[in-house]
Structure 1
Amino acid sequence: MSIHPTAIVSDRAALALDVEVGPYSVIDGHVEIGSGTIVESHARIGGRHGRVRIGANNLIQTGAVLGGPPQDTSYIDADTELVIGDDNRIGEYVSISVGTEKGGGITRIGNDNLIMAFVHLGHDCRIGDHVVITNATQLAGHVTVEDHALLSGLAGVTQYVRLGSLCFLTAGAFANKDIPPYTIAEGHWATPRALNRVGLRRAGVDRDERRNLDRALRILLDRSLTVEEVVARIGRECAPSPRVEHFIDFLKTSERGVARA
Structure 2
Amino acid sequence: MSSVLQGAPLADRVAVVTGASAGIGAATARRLAELGARVALLARRADRLDDLVAEIRKAGGEAVAVTADIADRASVQAAADRVATELGSADLVVNAAGTYLPGPIADGAADAWAQEIAVNVTGQMNVIGAFTPQLIAAAEAGRSADLVNISSVGADINLTLSAVYDGSKAFVSKMSATLRDELGQHGVRVAVIEPGLVDTELKTHVTHEGIRGWIDANGELALQPEDVAETIAFAATLPPQVNLQTIVVLPTKQAFS
- Bin the TM-score by the shorter chain: under 0.3
Q: Which is richer in helix?
A: 2
TM-score calculated relative to the size of structure 2: 0.24
Larger radius of gyration: 1
Higher RCO (CA 8 Å, separation ≥ 6 residues): 2
Q: Which is richer in strand?
A: 1
